């Protein structure tokens, strides 16, 4: 497979975005928020049976699997809260994902209320180079016989039973292999119907698994994505593995274009191209008669394999882009 060089093509866009008439260079279009939902989960109206420590955390288990939960400081069992599930990368864990993503930070809001942040822990798999490591489904190094899709469904059921959750405002995010797994969740109809929107950072995707084939979400998918042009772990232009074709990785633009087409848009005709930060190009496709489904792509000129924060690049993705993107979407308005 010959992989085209998208990086050089994109670098020219950093200049083009500043000069072409009709292409915005301002901050992204103002986002629309929805009206509060009146639907409630079964865990509303009574004290949670879960015990939280003085930092508002609890570890919960389902069988031999576990997930870390953080509730906002002013959690109220009589008010529904949005939930963000955030999946760690290969060889990482739940606490590391909490640290890099920042979803547990005070002041994070969706629908005007504090969010419940959840960090599931992947099972151990064969790993790379015969070194066992934690990994999510959808990769050639994923553990065999582990039902990660079922695990996620069980987590959602447990959250709705034990906390006051807004079932229309559950979101999925992930980094690297966790981002690849979030792509799998979006591609699988039984889980695509449970999440209102998806955020994927530095996605580790493999041609032999799910990026292009077998992706049947059953609906249009709101998705926001971030990828660095200097990412050497998951190259922006994709990679051919000369020793094992299962490790071939598709070019990120081709993977994103596939989502744009699934949503009914023309990948060659984005709705907006802008430079919201120095060295960052944002491309947006709004799909549908009521532009209810959006694909947003952030290409980071000097970005490495990392969650975008002010320590790594010129902006902080979670509070500045991901949470406002999630805030636009409620399942009741999509299904």
The pLDDT tens digits for 220-261 are: 999 999 999 999 999 999 998 877 888 899 999 999 999 999
Q: Which residues, other chains included, contact 89 with Cβ-Cβ below 8 Å and sequence gap of 6+?
A: 97, 174, 175, 176, 177, 178, 179, 202, 204
Computed over every residue of the chain, the mean pLDDT equals 88
Name the pLDDT band for 39 (thresholds 50, 70, 90).
Answer: low
- Distance between CA atoms of 217 and 163, rounded to whole angstroms? 27
Q: Which residues, other chains included, contact 246 with Cβ-Cβ below 8 Å and sequence gap of 6+?
A: 140, 206, 208
Name the pLDDT band for 32 (thresholds 50, 70, 90).
Answer: very low
Return the axis-axis angle of helices 6-19 and 252-262, rounded to nearest 10°: 70
Q: Is residue 36 part of a domain?
A: no
Q: What is the CATH number of the domain that holds 212?
A: 3.40.50.1820
The pLDDT tens digits for 88-97 are: 999 999 999 9
Closest Cα to residue 317, out of 174, 168, 217, 214? 174
Name the pLDDT band for 81 (thresholds 50, 70, 90).
Answer: very high
Q: Is residue 8 part of a domain?
A: no
Q: Is residue 25 part of a domain?
A: no
Tell me which residue range forms the domain holding 55.
51-333
pLDDT above 50 for 2: no
Residue 305: CA count within 13 A, CB half-sphere: 15
The pLDDT tens digits for 276-321 are: 999 999 999 997 765 668 999 999 999 999 999 998 899 999 999 9
**What's the pLDDT at 291?**
60
Number of domains within the chain:
1
Q: Which residues, other chains included, contact 61 with Cβ-Cβ below 8 Å and sequence gap of 6+?
A: 67
């Amino acid at each position: 497979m010959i992989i085209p060089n998208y990086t050089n093509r994109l670098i020219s866009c950093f200049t083009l975005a500043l000069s072409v008439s009709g292409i915005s260079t301002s901050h992204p279009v103002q986002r629309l928020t929805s009206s509060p939902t009146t639907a409630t989960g079964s865990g509303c109206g009574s004290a949670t049976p879960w015990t939280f420590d003085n930092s508002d955390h609890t570890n919960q288990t389902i069988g031999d699997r576990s997930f870390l939960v953080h509730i906002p400081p002013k959690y109220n069992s009589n008010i529904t809260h949005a939930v963000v599930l955030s999946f760690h990368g290969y060889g990482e864990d739940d606490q590391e994902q909490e640290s890099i993503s920042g979803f547990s930070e005070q002041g994070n809001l969706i629908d005007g209320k504090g969010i419940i942040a959840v960090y599931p822990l992947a099972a151990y798999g064969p790993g790379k180079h015969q070194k066992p490591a934690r990994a999510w489904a959808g990769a050639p190094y994923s553990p065999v016989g582990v039902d990660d899709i079922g695990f996620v469904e069980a987590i959602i059921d447990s959250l709705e039973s034990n906390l006051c959750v807004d079932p229309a405002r559950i979101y999925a995010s992930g980094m690297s292999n966790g981002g690849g797994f979030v792509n799998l969740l979006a591609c699988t109809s039984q889980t695509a119907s449970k999440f209102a929107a998806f955020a994927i950072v530095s996605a580790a995707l493999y041609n032999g698994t799910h990026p292009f084939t077998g992706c049947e979400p059953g609906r249009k998918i709101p998705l926001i994505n971030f990828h660095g042009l200097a990412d050497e772990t998951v190259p922006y232009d994709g990679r051919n593995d000369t020793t094992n074709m299962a490790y071939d990785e598709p070019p990120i633009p081709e993977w994103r274009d596939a989502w744009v087409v699934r949503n009914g848009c023309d990948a060659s005709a984005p709705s907006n191209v802008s430079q919201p930060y120095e060295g960052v190009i944002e491309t947006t496709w709004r799909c549908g008669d009521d532009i209810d489904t959006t694909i947003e792509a952030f290409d980071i000129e000097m970005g490495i394999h990392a969650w975008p924060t002010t320590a790594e690049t010129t902006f902080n993705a979670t509070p500045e882009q991901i949470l406002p993107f999630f805030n636009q979407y409620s399942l009741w308005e999509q299904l």
